[in-house]
Amino acid sequence: MSSQKMLTRNQFLVLDVLKEGEKPLSAYDILDRLRGEGLRAPLQIYRALSALIGRGHAHRLESLNAFVACAGKECHKSGLAAFAICEACGQANEFSDFVLRQRLEGWAEREGFRTSHSVVEMHGTCGACVIRS
């Protein structure tokens, strides 16, 4: 059974909004889009987001206090989620990098640091926005 089949109605709704979003969304952006579905309270959104993150369906971008749907399962296998965030258009692209993961794990091992999860966020300008400017 797929883990998506085990989602609640609110989790399905929130995940659909994240998947349709062209850029990261705040909890209040998500709430605004789901008011017509009967969701009225921020707590409903935060609970759904917490469950989606816990199940590997979504990520929180700390620097933006916003959320995105997970673009792939590599981050969950490796324990590292990495994002390139465009400051011009707002796009956030998730990627996986083996070398980056190795370096972070190596540092943690040398320092005796126990990592629970890692999120790397790079901010800059995406290739499409560079061409337009």
The domains of the chain are located at 3-69, 74-132
Q: What is the 3-state secondary structure (H, E, C) of 13-34?
A: HHHHHHHHCCCCECHHHHHHHH
Q: Which CATH number fits domain 74-132: 3.40.1670.10, 1.10.10.370, 3.30.1490.190, 3.40.50.300?
A: 3.30.1490.190
Contact between 61 and 82 under an 8 Å Cβ cutoff? The reply is no
Q: Which pair of structure tokens corresponds to residue 115?
A: 């990592």
- Mean pLDDT over residues 79-94, rounded? 93
What confidence tens digit (pLDDT) does each residue in 20-58 have?
Answer: 999 999 999 999 999 999 999 999 999 999 999 999 999
**Between 82 and 74, where is the model more confident?**
82
Contacts of 78 (CB under 8 A, 6+ apart): 96, 98, 101
Assigned CATH topology for domain 3-69? Arc Repressor Mutant, subunit A (1.10.10)
Q: Is the pTM of this model over 0.85?
A: yes
What's the mean per-residue pLDDT of the chain? 92
